[in-house]
Structure 1
Amino acid sequence: MKEFEYTIKDELGLHARPAGLLVKQAATYQSKLTIEKVGGKSADLKRLFGVMGLAVKCGETVKVTAEGEDEAAAAEALEEFFKANF
């Protein structure tokens, strides 16, 4: 299992357009991917409504967990995605 935490820096938080791109990228991996609002709910990172339902705002921290055969590649790519988009 691989995981990382990231604090959202985008003023709009984890909003629709980049969240959709995030889910699209997550869907390319075989691993089970989850996103958790630290201290709150979690969701399947491959499901847009679950991700949007977390209502992550600027300044809040999320933890992404990857578990499966391509977990290392998934965690690395998704961490880079967060840095570039959120």
Structure 2
Amino acid sequence: MDNRSPIRDVEVRDDGIRLGQLLKLAGLVEHGAAAREVLEAGEVTVNGRPEARRGRQLGGGDVVALGEERVRVRIADAGS
């Protein structure tokens, strides 16, 4: 059984977002320095794989996890 929190969608504009920006937008970290710290510590995964690059480009459907929190990138509709 999977005891992790449900995945929460985070809507972004354009075609994607960088990992460090998403961590802040989703409220997983408070600021860029905190994003760098959790990435360097190996605490973040993207689609189930460890990721340490703050500038990693994410697209629609990518799932980012930090601890028990999981968020999925959702690209905003052009008309939104």
Would you call these one fold, judging by a TM-score over 0.5? no
TM-score, normalisation: structure 2: 0.38
Choose 1 or 2 for highest CA Rg: 2
More helix by share: 1
TM-score, normalisation: structure 1: 0.37
More strand by share: 2
